[in-house]
Chain A
């Protein structure tokens, strides 16, 4: 494994970057050193126990480096799957880890910037976030890699009380004979009382194997509200590593809903720190997988301020030889009294070879805390399947209905009805092939 990390380190050492800032140059070098020294995550890293990286090793992508033009003007649309939402106020395309065009985003108080522009206008804020990312040790290898190659990114700045409306980020990858791992950084800086609905769509036209390593920062000032929806519907030869760091001030609200219906090897790490009081963070999601897909959701919620609430709500449906991981942590710091924390993860295994690892973790060091957590693993109810079949539905159709109903508890939580409907349709289409009576087809 570390052979791949060494290979990346070598190309990163000689890479040149468009932004010339002494602190950033120094940090990139330190990240390369970390990567060289510790290599990639391995089984002994507790946080990576259930997500082996064999698939990444087999693909052996080169790290994409070199000065690329940051393109913020509308680019001609290549063949793309349908946009998840038609009514977005701003659409930003990121292709192979580089900005590939934006449309809209010109509301008052909203600015959409490339990383270079962002560093010119908000250097200290960006620097604070960049330097806050832990790049020490093998478990942090993807953060190190992203930092070591940090030169491509997007910054969206929303002034206090402004409404950025709906921002759609479309992530696409092209296939080449030589697979690459692309790195990209996103900053969403939300001023006091501002709002944004961010929709991320990871869905490419058919392509060969490639990998994407994204790090995102959400900075929510007091009373800021972010609805964040992510759809990942990639082909099986796609590897996606995404790490999201959220900082929440008093009274802010962050709502995440993640839907993984495809991909080969996918990991989402989401970490929020609620430093202010009365903040709220919700992490909902569903993964519906077949074949040998692997999706890992790692959520970490830290209650530091008083009277904050958090909710984790994931549903997994696994067919074929697919594997799902849910690791939800909640840490209630001393003094974070009157916190409320909920965790729920329920899973359906549709095949004897599918696998789920679910691990809710609660650490409470404060008083007057309301906490609940639960995890279940089960199968579809045979009586319900027979009931539906006895009315004329085929076995496959009956299972499709039941799986759709199982995931509806997640889509029902979406406020945006257009998105809820689209996601429910996509879940319907993603329905894993079923292996009945213990046989694998």
Chain B
């Protein structure tokens, strides 16, 4: 109760200093916010590409219906497979005429439908990896009535290499940004604490326990961090609206990320303040 009262009073007594601390925290977290926005949209873009990863099993024209049904059942039994669609020669031709209109006349003129019947194997999210598609394709190729099983080996490999690079750079850059933000927040709050060194000294002088001195400062740090977090979200959202309106379509980060950002701001603030006051108490 005293800690909360003192923390609020501390903000009232030095609004400019606390405002500056919150501003610095806000700018540090704004960089993290922009990075999150970019990361999230990169994730969406990669996920959209990844969704298109599937195995297409091309069947010979003389494959019997019972053999096709058997293979369809076998493929559907893979735990990683979500759905298997049978595409007949006629369906394949119709689709080609629809999706490739520039070759439309060619398909009409052909006396025989050149396109093979096939099974399109869709995979569950999280299973669209090179290993899984390779395994399913290899299994399908064992059947004598299967002409070939393809999955765009080269671009699947590239996609996953890109994903790995994206994940690694997100982790490294995210950690670096978080570290820089923590250092800035720590410095801002240390300045605020240094400005109140006399108060800390006097509290020690009159017999305050360390915990009693620390609590209001930790709360004040949490409040400054939270205010900085809110500022960072406002700035990130403004940037997002600007990019969306004038540059290209982007998605706003999920609510959970916003919540984590606010919580991180408050926690960073509290922790940085706690470390700074602990160090200061050792010196006075």
Check if A and B associate: no
